[in-house]
Structure 1
């Protein structure tokens, strides 16, 4: 009986380990880019441009939606809020997005240094930017707007 339990525990731990490894994505690997390569082989530039453009559109849409929510929020919606705090939040978010884009581009440059002078730099660069954009979408969704957190205590 103990042997069976140990085997089951080992199997569960192995499955958990495999699942954890599967979730760790490589920055230079993207499903969309892989599909472009699979479909178009080395003639994939237009497809890569399209998937990167779609990723940029999703990011910009989420950014603008959050920015508009911040702009539409009344300072009365948060504890002792005022117009100056709202203006600072708007200015900060806009500056943060610009700096984040600079960071993304710089990060991908460093993360992909081994691809320099490679025929696959464009594919890796596209994957990196798509993956970073996905992460930024998650970050933007974490920004709390008072009207979205009603009833919650900080």
Structure 2
């Protein structure tokens, strides 16, 4: 199974479309928020199931603030992260993820890509396809691949 994880597109979807063209086909798209009214386009272009949540800039969205769902045998918690102070570090969101009993927490907001595996918890932030803030400031996304044994592998990619 191949999953595309993106975040913080902020209604500027050119890079999202480029990424889809580059990595397709995918089995699922996950958007970690700050979509700003492009929900329909994100879903329509994907051509597969899409999981999305609101971010701090999604003022008029009907999307949920958080979601929990399964990918293979992994329990995933999806949230934008701003309510868990991720701009100050991801300790609070990781603690909340452990209390919820999830295997993977996916979040955005910081515009910096992260894949951290610690103590049985995987924390994933794809960064931003529109306004990257990490060193080099290249738009980023993550591909999650489940191998034949169902083990998740994460790769950060840059445009």
Return the TM-score normalized by structure 2. 0.22
Return the TM-score normalized by structure 1. 0.22
Q: Higher Cα Rg: structure 1 or 2? A: 1
* Bigger relative CO (Cα 8 Å, ≥ 6 apart): 1
Task: Choose between structure 1 and 2: higher strand proportion.
Answer: 2
Task: Choose between structure 1 and 2: higher helix proportion.
Answer: 1
